[in-house]
Structure 1
Amino acid sequence: MTSLDPVLDKDGVRLTVEDAVATVTLTNPAKRNAQSPALWRALTEAGRVLPGDVRVVVLRGEGKSFSAGLDRQAFTPEGFDGEPSFLDMARGPEAELDATIAEYQEAFTWWRRNDLVSIATVQGHAIGAGFQLALACDLRIVAEDVQFAMRETSLGLVPDLTGTHPLVNLVGYARALEICATGRFVHAEEAERTGLANLVVPADQLDAAVRDLAAALVSAPRDAVVETKALLAGAVSRTYEEQRTAERAAQGRRLRDLAGITD
Protein backbone atom coordinates (compact mmCIF):
# COMPACT_ATOMS: atom_id res chain seq x y z
CA MET A 1 0.00 0.00 0.00
CA THR A 2 1.01 3.61 -0.46
CA SER A 3 2.93 4.94 2.54
CA LEU A 4 0.68 7.32 4.45
CA ASP A 5 0.77 9.12 7.77
CA PRO A 6 -0.17 6.45 10.30
CA VAL A 7 -3.43 6.61 12.19
CA LEU A 8 -1.71 4.55 14.87
CA ASP A 9 1.95 3.59 15.32
CA LYS A 10 2.91 1.98 18.62
CA ASP A 11 4.20 -1.20 20.25
CA GLY A 12 5.03 -2.92 16.98
CA VAL A 13 1.78 -2.07 15.18
CA ARG A 14 1.19 0.57 12.50
CA LEU A 15 -2.21 1.42 11.01
CA THR A 16 -2.51 3.39 7.77
CA VAL A 17 -5.60 4.14 5.70
CA GLU A 18 -5.97 4.82 2.00
CA ASP A 19 -9.56 5.48 0.94
CA ALA A 20 -11.58 2.35 1.84
CA VAL A 21 -8.54 0.15 2.53
CA ALA A 22 -6.70 0.08 5.85
CA THR A 23 -3.36 -1.66 6.37
CA VAL A 24 -2.25 -2.99 9.74
CA THR A 25 1.47 -3.74 9.74
CA LEU A 26 3.51 -5.61 12.33
CA THR A 27 6.68 -3.54 12.54
CA ASN A 28 9.32 -5.50 14.43
CA PRO A 29 11.10 -7.55 11.76
CA ALA A 30 14.26 -7.83 13.87
CA LYS A 31 12.32 -10.16 16.18
CA ARG A 32 10.30 -11.70 13.31
CA ASN A 33 7.29 -9.74 14.56
CA ALA A 34 7.12 -11.69 17.81
CA GLN A 35 4.02 -10.86 19.80
CA SER A 36 3.52 -9.44 23.28
CA PRO A 37 0.64 -8.13 25.41
CA ALA A 38 1.54 -4.58 24.38
CA LEU A 39 1.29 -5.56 20.71
CA TRP A 40 -2.08 -7.22 21.35
CA ARG A 41 -3.40 -4.06 22.99
CA ALA A 42 -2.19 -2.04 20.00
CA LEU A 43 -3.98 -4.43 17.62
CA THR A 44 -7.17 -4.03 19.66
CA GLU A 45 -6.79 -0.26 19.50
CA ALA A 46 -6.27 -0.41 15.73
CA GLY A 47 -9.67 -2.05 15.38
CA ARG A 48 -11.30 0.60 17.55
CA VAL A 49 -9.87 3.59 15.66
CA LEU A 50 -10.63 2.37 12.14
CA PRO A 51 -12.47 5.09 10.21
CA GLY A 52 -16.06 4.18 9.41
CA ASP A 53 -15.57 4.24 5.65
CA VAL A 54 -12.96 1.46 5.73
CA ARG A 55 -14.19 -1.67 3.97
CA VAL A 56 -11.07 -3.83 3.67
CA VAL A 57 -8.30 -4.34 6.22
CA VAL A 58 -4.98 -5.81 5.10
CA LEU A 59 -2.78 -7.38 7.78
CA ARG A 60 0.91 -7.78 7.00
CA GLY A 61 4.26 -8.21 8.71
CA GLU A 62 7.48 -6.42 7.82
CA GLY A 63 10.53 -8.48 6.99
CA LYS A 64 10.97 -12.13 6.10
CA SER A 65 8.36 -13.49 8.52
CA PHE A 66 4.74 -12.62 9.13
CA SER A 67 5.02 -13.43 12.85
CA ALA A 68 7.08 -16.00 14.71
CA GLY A 69 4.48 -16.09 17.48
CA LEU A 70 4.64 -15.20 21.14
CA ASP A 71 7.84 -13.59 22.33
CA ARG A 72 9.46 -16.19 24.61
CA GLN A 73 10.28 -13.41 27.08
CA ALA A 74 6.72 -13.91 28.31
CA PHE A 75 7.80 -17.14 29.97
CA THR A 76 10.80 -15.73 31.80
CA PRO A 77 10.46 -14.76 35.48
CA GLU A 78 10.99 -11.12 34.50
CA GLY A 79 8.41 -11.07 31.71
CA PHE A 80 8.07 -7.79 29.82
CA ASP A 81 8.81 -4.40 31.33
CA GLY A 82 5.72 -3.12 33.10
CA GLU A 83 3.82 -6.38 32.56
CA PRO A 84 3.18 -9.32 34.88
CA SER A 85 5.02 -12.40 33.69
CA PHE A 86 2.91 -15.30 32.48
CA LEU A 87 4.21 -17.28 35.45
CA ASP A 88 2.99 -14.63 37.88
CA MET A 89 -0.37 -14.53 36.12
CA ALA A 90 -0.71 -18.29 36.56
CA ARG A 91 -0.13 -17.95 40.29
CA GLY A 92 -2.89 -15.36 40.66
CA PRO A 93 -6.66 -15.80 41.05
CA GLU A 94 -8.29 -17.91 38.35
CA ALA A 95 -10.85 -15.22 37.52
CA GLU A 96 -8.10 -12.66 36.92
CA LEU A 97 -6.23 -15.07 34.66
CA ASP A 98 -9.38 -15.70 32.65
CA ALA A 99 -10.05 -11.97 32.32
CA THR A 100 -6.49 -11.32 31.17
CA ILE A 101 -6.64 -13.98 28.48
CA ALA A 102 -10.01 -12.58 27.35
CA GLU A 103 -8.36 -9.17 27.00
CA TYR A 104 -5.58 -10.66 24.89
CA GLN A 105 -8.15 -12.39 22.67
CA GLU A 106 -9.73 -9.04 21.76
CA ALA A 107 -6.78 -8.37 19.46
CA PHE A 108 -7.89 -11.38 17.38
CA THR A 109 -11.66 -10.91 17.29
CA TRP A 110 -12.48 -7.72 15.42
CA TRP A 111 -11.06 -8.85 12.07
CA ARG A 112 -14.28 -10.74 11.24
CA ARG A 113 -16.69 -7.84 11.77
CA ASN A 114 -19.49 -7.97 9.20
CA ASP A 115 -18.73 -4.45 7.96
CA LEU A 116 -15.14 -5.41 7.03
CA VAL A 117 -13.32 -7.96 4.92
CA SER A 118 -9.88 -8.72 6.33
CA ILE A 119 -6.96 -10.17 4.40
CA ALA A 120 -3.86 -11.64 6.00
CA THR A 121 -0.77 -11.29 3.81
CA VAL A 122 1.52 -14.05 5.03
CA GLN A 123 5.15 -14.74 4.18
CA GLY A 124 7.74 -16.84 5.95
CA HIS A 125 6.91 -18.01 9.44
CA ALA A 126 3.42 -17.79 10.95
CA ILE A 127 3.92 -19.69 14.18
CA GLY A 128 1.60 -20.10 17.17
CA ALA A 129 0.10 -16.69 17.86
CA GLY A 130 1.22 -15.70 14.35
CA PHE A 131 -0.76 -18.59 12.86
CA GLN A 132 -3.76 -17.62 14.98
CA LEU A 133 -3.53 -13.99 13.88
CA ALA A 134 -3.59 -15.09 10.23
CA LEU A 135 -6.58 -17.32 11.04
CA ALA A 136 -8.35 -14.34 12.62
CA CYS A 137 -8.75 -12.79 9.18
CA ASP A 138 -11.42 -13.66 6.64
CA LEU A 139 -8.95 -14.41 3.84
CA ARG A 140 -5.30 -15.37 3.55
CA ILE A 141 -2.95 -14.75 0.62
CA VAL A 142 0.39 -16.42 1.23
CA ALA A 143 3.84 -16.49 -0.28
CA GLU A 144 5.36 -19.71 -1.56
CA ASP A 145 7.76 -19.75 1.40
CA VAL A 146 5.01 -19.67 4.05
CA GLN A 147 5.34 -21.96 7.06
CA PHE A 148 2.33 -22.24 9.37
CA ALA A 149 2.66 -24.11 12.66
CA MET A 150 0.70 -24.32 15.91
CA ARG A 151 3.43 -24.90 18.49
CA GLU A 152 1.50 -24.27 21.71
CA THR A 153 1.21 -27.94 22.67
CA SER A 154 5.00 -28.35 22.53
CA LEU A 155 5.15 -25.71 25.27
CA GLY A 156 2.52 -27.49 27.35
CA LEU A 157 -0.16 -24.98 26.31
CA VAL A 158 -3.17 -24.82 24.01
CA PRO A 159 -4.01 -22.36 21.19
CA ASP A 160 -6.10 -19.80 23.07
CA LEU A 161 -6.10 -16.73 20.81
CA THR A 162 -9.28 -17.66 18.90
CA GLY A 163 -7.49 -19.82 16.32
CA THR A 164 -9.11 -23.17 17.01
CA HIS A 165 -12.57 -22.28 15.67
CA PRO A 166 -11.49 -21.03 12.22
CA LEU A 167 -8.89 -23.78 11.91
CA VAL A 168 -11.48 -26.53 12.40
CA ASN A 169 -13.90 -24.77 10.05
CA LEU A 170 -11.24 -24.54 7.36
CA VAL A 171 -9.53 -27.93 7.49
CA GLY A 172 -11.83 -30.14 9.58
CA TYR A 173 -11.47 -31.59 13.06
CA ALA A 174 -9.08 -34.46 12.31
CA ARG A 175 -6.54 -32.39 10.37
CA ALA A 176 -6.80 -29.52 12.87
CA LEU A 177 -6.08 -31.93 15.74
CA GLU A 178 -3.09 -33.40 13.92
CA ILE A 179 -1.68 -29.94 13.07
CA CYS A 180 -2.05 -28.70 16.65
CA ALA A 181 -0.97 -31.85 18.49
CA THR A 182 2.16 -32.41 16.39
CA GLY A 183 3.12 -28.76 15.89
CA ARG A 184 4.35 -29.60 12.39
CA PHE A 185 4.79 -27.10 9.59
CA VAL A 186 2.08 -26.57 7.00
CA HIS A 187 3.61 -25.31 3.78
CA ALA A 188 2.07 -23.38 0.91
CA GLU A 189 0.82 -26.28 -1.22
CA GLU A 190 -1.02 -27.93 1.67
CA ALA A 191 -2.33 -24.58 2.89
CA GLU A 192 -3.94 -23.89 -0.48
CA ARG A 193 -5.20 -27.46 -0.93
CA THR A 194 -6.86 -27.60 2.49
CA GLY A 195 -8.38 -24.11 2.40
CA LEU A 196 -6.02 -22.37 4.82
CA ALA A 197 -4.84 -20.16 1.96
CA ASN A 198 -7.07 -18.56 -0.67
CA LEU A 199 -4.12 -17.96 -2.97
CA VAL A 200 -0.40 -18.78 -3.10
CA VAL A 201 1.93 -16.48 -5.02
CA PRO A 202 5.69 -15.88 -5.29
CA ALA A 203 6.92 -13.64 -2.48
CA ASP A 204 7.68 -10.75 -4.84
CA GLN A 205 4.07 -10.80 -6.07
CA LEU A 206 2.42 -10.84 -2.65
CA ASP A 207 1.73 -7.12 -2.32
CA ALA A 208 0.37 -6.86 -5.86
CA ALA A 209 -1.95 -9.83 -5.33
CA VAL A 210 -3.34 -8.28 -2.17
CA ARG A 211 -3.86 -4.93 -3.89
CA ASP A 212 -5.81 -6.65 -6.66
CA LEU A 213 -7.99 -8.55 -4.19
CA ALA A 214 -8.67 -5.45 -2.10
CA ALA A 215 -9.65 -3.50 -5.22
CA ALA A 216 -12.04 -6.26 -6.27
CA LEU A 217 -13.62 -6.35 -2.81
CA VAL A 218 -14.30 -2.62 -2.68
CA SER A 219 -15.71 -2.55 -6.23
CA ALA A 220 -18.97 -4.18 -5.15
CA PRO A 221 -21.64 -2.22 -3.26
CA ARG A 222 -20.76 -2.21 0.43
CA ASP A 223 -24.16 -3.24 1.81
CA ALA A 224 -24.34 -6.22 -0.53
CA VAL A 225 -20.92 -7.44 0.67
CA VAL A 226 -21.91 -6.91 4.32
CA GLU A 227 -25.13 -8.91 3.89
CA THR A 228 -23.35 -11.68 1.98
CA LYS A 229 -20.62 -11.97 4.59
CA ALA A 230 -23.19 -12.24 7.37
CA LEU A 231 -25.07 -14.93 5.44
CA LEU A 232 -21.97 -17.02 4.87
CA ALA A 233 -20.63 -16.56 8.40
CA GLY A 234 -23.88 -17.82 9.89
CA ALA A 235 -24.43 -20.68 7.46
CA VAL A 236 -22.51 -23.28 9.48
CA SER A 237 -24.66 -22.81 12.57
CA ARG A 238 -28.00 -22.73 10.70
CA THR A 239 -30.04 -25.57 9.29
CA TYR A 240 -30.76 -25.63 5.57
CA GLU A 241 -34.24 -24.20 6.14
CA GLU A 242 -32.92 -21.52 8.52
CA GLN A 243 -30.38 -20.49 5.90
CA ARG A 244 -33.13 -20.25 3.24
CA THR A 245 -35.05 -17.96 5.60
CA ALA A 246 -31.96 -15.83 6.26
CA GLU A 247 -31.33 -15.52 2.50
CA ARG A 248 -34.88 -14.33 1.90
CA ALA A 249 -34.67 -11.75 4.68
CA ALA A 250 -31.32 -10.43 3.45
CA GLN A 251 -32.50 -10.21 -0.14
CA GLY A 252 -35.64 -8.44 0.97
CA ARG A 253 -33.52 -5.81 2.71
CA ARG A 254 -31.36 -5.38 -0.38
CA LEU A 255 -34.34 -5.02 -2.73
CA ARG A 256 -36.05 -2.50 -0.45
CA ASP A 257 -32.82 -0.55 -0.23
CA LEU A 258 -32.36 -0.52 -4.01
CA ALA A 259 -35.95 0.60 -4.41
CA GLY A 260 -35.39 3.44 -1.96
CA ILE A 261 -37.88 2.07 0.56
CA THR A 262 -37.07 2.88 4.18
CA ASP A 263 -38.67 1.27 7.20
Structure 2
Amino acid sequence: MTSLDPVLDKDGVRLTVEDAVATVTLTNPDKRNAQNFALWRALAQAGRSLPGSVRIVVLRGEGKSFSAGLDRQAFTPEGFDGEPSFIDLARGTDAEIDASIAEFQEAFTWWRRNDIISIAAVQGHAIGAGFQLALACDLRVVAQDVQFAMRETALGLVPDLTGTHPLVSLVGYARALEICATGRFVHAEEAERTGLANLVVPGEELDAAVRDLSAALLAAPRDAVNETKALLRGAAGRSYDEQRAAERAAQGRRLRDLAGLAD
Protein backbone atom coordinates (compact mmCIF):
# COMPACT_ATOMS: atom_id res chain seq x y z
CA MET A 1 0.00 0.00 0.00
CA THR A 2 1.54 3.32 -1.07
CA SER A 3 -1.42 5.71 -1.11
CA LEU A 4 -1.47 8.40 1.56
CA ASP A 5 -5.25 8.67 1.46
CA PRO A 6 -6.42 8.45 5.07
CA VAL A 7 -7.44 5.03 6.34
CA LEU A 8 -9.17 6.90 9.17
CA ASP A 9 -9.89 10.61 9.62
CA LYS A 10 -12.30 11.48 12.43
CA ASP A 11 -12.59 13.19 15.81
CA GLY A 12 -9.14 14.76 15.69
CA VAL A 13 -7.28 11.63 14.56
CA ARG A 14 -5.96 10.82 11.09
CA LEU A 15 -4.36 7.50 10.12
CA THR A 16 -2.37 7.17 6.90
CA VAL A 17 -0.31 4.25 5.65
CA GLU A 18 2.65 4.23 3.30
CA ASP A 19 4.09 0.77 2.72
CA ALA A 20 5.27 -0.53 6.13
CA VAL A 21 4.92 2.80 7.96
CA ALA A 22 1.64 4.11 9.40
CA THR A 23 1.29 7.63 10.74
CA VAL A 24 -1.28 8.59 13.35
CA THR A 25 -1.71 12.36 13.52
CA LEU A 26 -3.56 14.41 16.11
CA THR A 27 -5.31 17.03 14.00
CA ASN A 28 -6.65 19.76 16.28
CA PRO A 29 -3.75 22.24 16.55
CA ASP A 30 -6.04 25.16 17.43
CA LYS A 31 -6.68 23.44 20.78
CA ARG A 32 -3.09 22.18 21.05
CA ASN A 33 -4.45 18.69 20.29
CA ALA A 34 -6.33 18.51 23.57
CA GLN A 35 -7.88 15.10 24.11
CA ASN A 36 -11.47 14.03 24.72
CA PHE A 37 -13.47 10.83 24.78
CA ALA A 38 -14.20 10.85 21.03
CA LEU A 39 -10.50 11.25 20.25
CA TRP A 40 -9.68 8.28 22.48
CA ARG A 41 -12.22 6.14 20.65
CA ALA A 42 -10.70 7.21 17.34
CA LEU A 43 -7.20 6.33 18.56
CA ALA A 44 -8.41 2.87 19.59
CA GLN A 45 -10.03 2.47 16.18
CA ALA A 46 -6.78 3.47 14.50
CA GLY A 47 -5.05 0.59 16.23
CA ARG A 48 -7.70 -1.83 15.03
CA SER A 49 -7.47 -0.44 11.49
CA LEU A 50 -3.75 -1.06 10.91
CA PRO A 51 -3.07 -3.24 7.86
CA GLY A 52 -0.98 -6.32 8.54
CA SER A 53 1.82 -4.91 6.40
CA VAL A 54 2.55 -2.15 8.91
CA ARG A 55 5.75 -2.50 10.94
CA ILE A 56 6.27 1.06 12.18
CA VAL A 57 3.64 3.42 13.61
CA VAL A 58 4.55 7.08 13.99
CA LEU A 59 2.45 9.23 16.33
CA ARG A 60 2.60 12.98 15.83
CA GLY A 61 0.59 16.11 16.55
CA GLU A 62 -0.09 18.98 14.17
CA GLY A 63 0.94 22.48 15.20
CA LYS A 64 3.18 23.73 17.97
CA SER A 65 2.14 21.17 20.61
CA PHE A 66 2.07 17.39 20.56
CA SER A 67 -0.88 17.35 22.98
CA ALA A 68 -1.69 19.67 25.85
CA GLY A 69 -3.63 16.94 27.64
CA LEU A 70 -7.26 16.41 28.47
CA ASP A 71 -9.71 19.02 27.24
CA ARG A 72 -10.79 20.83 30.43
CA GLN A 73 -14.39 20.80 29.18
CA ALA A 74 -14.55 17.25 30.54
CA PHE A 75 -14.51 18.75 34.04
CA THR A 76 -17.51 21.02 33.49
CA PRO A 77 -21.03 19.87 34.41
CA GLU A 78 -22.01 20.05 30.75
CA GLY A 79 -19.08 17.95 29.50
CA PHE A 80 -18.98 17.37 25.76
CA ASP A 81 -22.05 17.24 23.54
CA GLY A 82 -23.57 13.78 23.79
CA GLU A 83 -20.89 12.58 26.22
CA PRO A 84 -20.86 12.13 29.99
CA SER A 85 -18.78 14.60 31.99
CA PHE A 86 -16.36 13.47 34.68
CA ILE A 87 -19.01 14.52 37.17
CA ASP A 88 -21.44 12.09 35.52
CA LEU A 89 -18.82 9.33 35.62
CA ALA A 90 -18.24 9.97 39.34
CA ARG A 91 -21.89 9.23 40.04
CA GLY A 92 -21.54 5.70 38.69
CA THR A 93 -20.82 2.53 40.61
CA ASP A 94 -17.27 1.31 41.11
CA ALA A 95 -17.80 -1.21 38.33
CA GLU A 96 -19.13 1.46 35.97
CA ILE A 97 -16.21 3.80 36.69
CA ASP A 98 -13.76 0.94 36.17
CA ALA A 99 -15.37 -0.01 32.85
CA SER A 100 -15.32 3.59 31.60
CA ILE A 101 -11.64 4.09 32.42
CA ALA A 102 -10.78 0.72 30.88
CA GLU A 103 -12.44 1.89 27.66
CA PHE A 104 -10.45 5.14 27.73
CA GLN A 105 -7.22 3.17 28.24
CA GLU A 106 -7.76 1.24 25.00
CA ALA A 107 -6.47 4.29 23.12
CA PHE A 108 -3.15 3.93 24.95
CA THR A 109 -2.56 0.18 25.02
CA TRP A 110 -2.07 -1.01 21.45
CA TRP A 111 1.09 0.99 20.72
CA ARG A 112 3.33 -1.65 22.34
CA ARG A 113 2.01 -4.62 20.37
CA ASN A 114 4.83 -7.02 19.52
CA ASP A 115 4.13 -6.87 15.76
CA ILE A 116 4.85 -3.12 15.48
CA ILE A 117 7.30 -0.55 16.79
CA SER A 118 5.73 2.78 17.68
CA ILE A 119 7.54 6.10 17.66
CA ALA A 120 6.18 9.29 19.22
CA ALA A 121 7.41 12.45 17.48
CA VAL A 122 6.96 15.03 20.24
CA GLN A 123 7.22 18.80 20.05
CA GLY A 124 6.09 21.52 22.41
CA HIS A 125 3.63 20.57 25.13
CA ALA A 126 3.04 16.92 26.07
CA ILE A 127 1.05 17.34 29.25
CA GLY A 128 -1.03 14.88 31.27
CA ALA A 129 -2.83 12.66 28.78
CA GLY A 130 -0.41 13.98 26.14
CA PHE A 131 2.57 12.82 28.21
CA GLN A 132 0.91 9.45 28.76
CA LEU A 133 0.23 9.07 25.04
CA ALA A 134 3.90 9.68 24.28
CA LEU A 135 4.80 7.15 27.01
CA ALA A 136 2.46 4.62 25.39
CA CYS A 137 4.84 4.38 22.43
CA ASP A 138 7.98 2.24 22.32
CA LEU A 139 10.28 5.12 21.37
CA ARG A 140 10.23 8.91 21.64
CA VAL A 141 12.01 11.37 19.34
CA VAL A 142 11.56 14.87 20.72
CA ALA A 143 12.16 18.43 19.61
CA GLN A 144 14.33 20.73 21.68
CA ASP A 145 11.26 22.71 22.77
CA VAL A 146 9.51 19.70 24.31
CA GLN A 147 7.76 20.17 27.66
CA PHE A 148 6.61 16.97 29.36
CA ALA A 149 4.49 17.27 32.50
CA MET A 150 2.17 14.99 34.48
CA ARG A 151 -0.42 17.40 35.88
CA GLU A 152 -3.12 14.99 37.07
CA THR A 153 -2.24 15.26 40.75
CA ALA A 154 -2.63 19.05 40.61
CA LEU A 155 -6.23 18.40 39.53
CA GLY A 156 -6.82 15.98 42.39
CA LEU A 157 -6.51 12.97 40.07
CA VAL A 158 -3.94 10.29 39.26
CA PRO A 159 -2.38 9.36 35.91
CA ASP A 160 -4.71 6.57 34.77
CA LEU A 161 -4.08 6.27 31.02
CA THR A 162 -1.32 3.61 31.30
CA GLY A 163 1.50 6.12 31.80
CA THR A 164 2.71 5.13 35.27
CA HIS A 165 4.23 1.77 34.28
CA PRO A 166 6.44 3.04 31.43
CA LEU A 167 7.38 6.16 33.38
CA VAL A 168 8.70 4.13 36.32
CA SER A 169 10.41 1.71 33.93
CA LEU A 170 12.18 4.57 32.16
CA VAL A 171 13.21 6.92 34.98
CA GLY A 172 12.83 4.87 38.18
CA TYR A 173 10.36 5.10 41.05
CA ALA A 174 11.81 8.10 42.89
CA ARG A 175 12.06 10.38 39.85
CA ALA A 176 8.67 9.22 38.56
CA LEU A 177 7.08 10.06 41.92
CA GLU A 178 8.69 13.49 41.96
CA ILE A 179 7.62 14.26 38.37
CA CYS A 180 4.03 13.20 39.02
CA ALA A 181 3.62 14.69 42.50
CA THR A 182 5.07 18.10 41.60
CA GLY A 183 3.62 18.32 38.08
CA ARG A 184 6.78 20.12 36.96
CA PHE A 185 8.02 20.33 33.39
CA VAL A 186 10.63 17.93 32.06
CA HIS A 187 12.54 19.56 29.22
CA ALA A 188 14.57 18.04 26.41
CA GLU A 189 17.94 17.74 28.12
CA GLU A 190 16.52 15.93 31.14
CA ALA A 191 14.27 13.79 28.96
CA GLU A 192 17.26 12.52 26.99
CA ARG A 193 19.45 12.09 30.08
CA THR A 194 16.85 10.07 32.00
CA GLY A 195 15.74 7.89 29.08
CA LEU A 196 12.37 9.52 28.41
CA ALA A 197 13.66 10.55 24.99
CA ASN A 198 15.64 8.32 22.66
CA LEU A 199 16.75 11.30 20.61
CA VAL A 200 16.52 15.11 20.84
CA VAL A 201 16.68 17.19 17.65
CA PRO A 202 15.89 20.74 16.56
CA GLY A 203 12.20 21.14 15.83
CA GLU A 204 12.72 21.58 12.11
CA GLU A 205 14.55 18.23 12.00
CA LEU A 206 11.94 16.20 13.90
CA ASP A 207 10.18 14.64 10.90
CA ALA A 208 13.47 13.80 9.18
CA ALA A 209 14.85 12.18 12.34
CA VAL A 210 11.75 10.01 12.67
CA ARG A 211 12.04 8.98 9.02
CA ASP A 212 15.68 8.01 9.52
CA LEU A 213 14.86 6.01 12.65
CA SER A 214 11.99 4.26 10.89
CA ALA A 215 14.28 3.28 8.01
CA ALA A 216 16.85 1.88 10.43
CA LEU A 217 14.20 -0.16 12.24
CA LEU A 218 12.90 -1.56 8.96
CA ALA A 219 16.35 -2.77 7.89
CA ALA A 220 16.23 -5.95 10.00
CA PRO A 221 13.87 -8.88 9.23
CA ARG A 222 10.43 -8.34 10.75
CA ASP A 223 10.20 -11.64 12.65
CA ALA A 224 13.59 -11.12 14.31
CA VAL A 225 12.59 -7.64 15.43
CA ASN A 226 9.24 -8.88 16.75
CA GLU A 227 10.86 -11.71 18.72
CA THR A 228 13.46 -9.32 20.15
CA LYS A 229 10.80 -6.83 21.18
CA ALA A 230 8.81 -9.56 22.92
CA LEU A 231 11.94 -10.71 24.77
CA LEU A 232 12.78 -7.21 25.96
CA ARG A 233 9.22 -6.36 26.97
CA GLY A 234 8.94 -9.49 29.08
CA ALA A 235 12.36 -9.26 30.69
CA ALA A 236 11.33 -7.17 33.69
CA GLY A 237 8.71 -9.72 34.71
CA ARG A 238 11.01 -12.75 34.46
CA SER A 239 13.82 -14.03 36.61
CA TYR A 240 17.29 -14.31 35.10
CA ASP A 241 16.84 -18.02 34.44
CA GLU A 242 13.35 -17.50 33.01
CA GLN A 243 14.73 -14.90 30.63
CA ARG A 244 17.51 -17.29 29.55
CA ALA A 245 14.84 -19.89 28.77
CA ALA A 246 12.78 -17.35 26.83
CA GLU A 247 15.87 -16.44 24.79
CA ARG A 248 16.52 -20.09 23.96
CA ALA A 249 12.92 -20.66 22.88
CA ALA A 250 12.88 -17.54 20.71
CA GLN A 251 16.18 -18.45 19.08
CA GLY A 252 14.92 -21.94 18.37
CA ARG A 253 11.97 -20.46 16.50
CA ARG A 254 14.28 -18.17 14.53
CA LEU A 255 16.67 -20.98 13.60
CA ARG A 256 13.83 -23.19 12.39
CA ASP A 257 12.38 -20.32 10.40
CA LEU A 258 15.73 -19.53 8.75
CA ALA A 259 16.23 -23.21 7.94
CA GLY A 260 12.75 -23.43 6.43
CA LEU A 261 11.61 -25.82 9.14
CA ALA A 262 9.06 -23.61 10.88
CA ASP A 263 5.59 -25.06 11.44
Give me the TM-score of the superposition, normalised by structure 2: 0.99
Q: Which residue of 1 aligns with 2:223?
A: 223
Q: Percent identity?
A: 86
Once the two structures are superposed, what CA deviation does each residue of 1:111-161 show, in whole Å capped at 9, x if it has no partner?
000000000000000000000000000000000000000000000000000
Matches within 5 A, 1:92-241: 92-241=92-241
TM-aligned CA deviation for residue 3 of structure 1: 8.2
Distance 1:262 1:173 in 2: 42
* Unaligned runs of at least 5 residues, structure 1: none
TM-aligned CA deviation for residue 219 of structure 1: 1.4
Distance 1:106 1:258 in 2: 35
Distance 2:31 2:131 in 1: 16
Contact 2:153 2:183 in 1 (8 A): yes
User: For residue 89 of structure 1, what is the amino acid of its counterpart?
Assistant: L
Once the two structures are superposed, what CA deviation does each residue of 1:194-218 show, in whole Å capped at 9, x if it has no partner?
0000000000000000000011111
User: For residue 156 of structure 1, what is the amino acid of its counterpart?
Assistant: G
Distance 2:95 2:132 in 1: 24
Contact 2:37 2:104 in 1 (8 A): yes
Distance 1:128 1:251 in 2: 39
* Runs of at least 4 residues off by over 2 Å: none
Check 1:131–1:3 CA distance in 2 against 1; reply closer, same or farther (3 A cut): farther
My pick for the range that moved more, 216-225 or 155-164, is: 216-225
Once the two structures are superposed, what CA deviation does each residue of 1:151-174 show, in whole Å capped at 9, x if it has no partner?
000000000000000000000000
Contact 2:253 2:262 in 1 (8 A): no
My pick for the range that moved more, 235-244 or 132-141, is: 235-244
Q: CA RMSD in A?
A: 0.9
Once the two structures are superposed, what CA deviation does each residue of 1:193-249 show, in whole Å capped at 9, x if it has no partner?
000000000000000000000111111100000000000000111111111111111
Q: Which residue of 2 aligns with 1:242?
A: 242
TM-aligned CA deviation for residue 93 of structure 1: 1.6
Distance 2:99 2:9 in 1: 26
TM-aligned CA deviation for residue 7 of structure 1: 0.2
Contact 2:25 2:60 in 1 (8 A): yes
Matched, 1:49 2:49: yes
Equivalenced residue count is 262
Matched, 1:85 2:85: yes
Give me the TM-score of the superposition, normalised by structure 1: 0.99
Distance 1:240 1:124 in 2: 40
Q: Which residue of 2 aligns with 1:16?
A: 16
Q: Which residue of 2 aligns with 1:5?
A: 5
Once the two structures are superposed, what CA deviation does each residue of 1:14-55 show, in whole Å capped at 9, x if it has no partner?
000000000000000000000000000000000001000100
User: For residue 243 of structure 1, what is the amino acid of its counterpart?
Assistant: Q
Contact 2:122 2:140 in 1 (8 A): yes
TM-aligned CA deviation for residue 262 of structure 1: 2.6
My pick for the range that moved more, 201-210 or 237-246, is: 237-246
* Unaligned runs of at least 5 residues, structure 2: none
User: For residue 38 of structure 1, what is the amino acid of its counterpart?
Assistant: A
Distance 1:86 1:3 in 2: 40
Distance 2:244 2:188 in 1: 35
User: For residue 229 of structure 1, what is the amino acid of its counterpart?
Assistant: K
